[in-house]
Structures are given as structure tokens and as C-alpha cells.
Amino acid sequence: MKAKHQRLVLICIALVGLVAAGLIAAYALRDQASYFYTPGDIAEKGVEPGQAIRLGGMVQKGSIRKQADGVTIDFIVEDGKGTVPVRFTGITPDLFVEGSGVVAEGRMNASGQFVADNLLAKHDENYVPREMRDMTKADVKKLGGTVQQP
């Protein structure tokens, strides 16, 4: 490298690095971000099976069924505009009860069931995932949880 161009070259390296990072990030984000759906959205627009999404809504009353293995549950998530059957294998969060709100991470399978990898746990009564807070406000529907106002 010619010495007198050093600063220029360094700036170029830095710029190339940053632009590369930006482009890679932007490209990957389009594929890898998981989108938030309500049962109503799924009924309306549909979701491709296998795509990672988050599903948020209310756990329908009386819908939780425990499977024989003792660790798998089936339940229905509803939002007043649609319902989605969900299967989850694991230990449910402490505040997961019928009639309360839930956000599940996972994907739809081919038969229209949502397979949840993870039910988002609330740390305490005061915490609600942000997506859900918006939903409750947006359509004043009976989605669970309370937001403690400061």
C-alpha cells in the first residue's frame, strides 16, 4: 500500500466492512425474522407451514387437553376473529391458564396445527409482551394480562 493513501484505504476498508454487515443483516432479516400473528390474521391471510412465527391470543376456556405422556398439551388460541389449535411439549409457564393471554413461538404444520417450541413466560403479573399490549388496545378484545402503568 502506498503510504500517502493510507487513510483513504482505511476508510474504504471500514466502509466496505460496515456496508457488508448492513447488507448481510438486511438480507438475513427478511428471511429470519419471525412475524407476529393473531388467530384472526391466520384465518384471513394464512401462513405457510414451517415458517417461524409468533402466535398471540387468548387460551380458550376449557380447551386445554393434557396428552397421555403428561408433558404435551393441546389447546386452542382465539382472538374473537379466529381460532388456532396449538400443541406444546414442555413445562408451561406459571401464569399459563385458560382464559389468559399467551404468545407462542413456533410454526404451523401441514394439518393446520400450530406446533409451539416455546410459550413466552411472563415474569410476573405486570409483564405482558409488547405485541399483546398493542392488541388489547387496538381492538379492546379480551386478551389477557394487565399492563401496569407507571
Binding site for another protein (CB under 8 A): 1, 3, 6-11, 13-15, 17-18, 20-22, 24-26, 28-29, 32-36, 52, 54, 66, 69-71, 89-92, 94-95, 99-100, 105, 120-127, 129-131, 133-134, 136-138, 140-150
DSSP 126: T
Q: How far is the CB of 113 from another protein (least distance, A)?
A: 19
Pairing between strand 83-89 and 114-119? Answer: parallel
Nearer Cβ to another protein, position 28 or 109? 28
Q: How far is the CB of 68 from another protein (least distance, A)?
A: 9
* Cβ–Cβ under 8 Å, residues 114 and 87: yes
Residues across the chain: 150
Q: How far is the CB of 112 from another protein (least distance, A)?
A: 22
Nearer Cβ to another protein, position 35 or 112? 35
Dist CA 66 CA 90 (whole Å): 11
Dist CA 149 CA 66 (whole Å): 35
Dist CA 38 CA 102 (whole Å): 11
Nearer Cβ to another protein, position 52 or 109? 52
For 7, the grid coordinates are 487513510
Nearer Cβ to another protein, position 48 or 69? 69
Q: How far is the CB of 44 from another protein (least distance, A)?
A: 14
End-to-end CA distance of the chain: 58
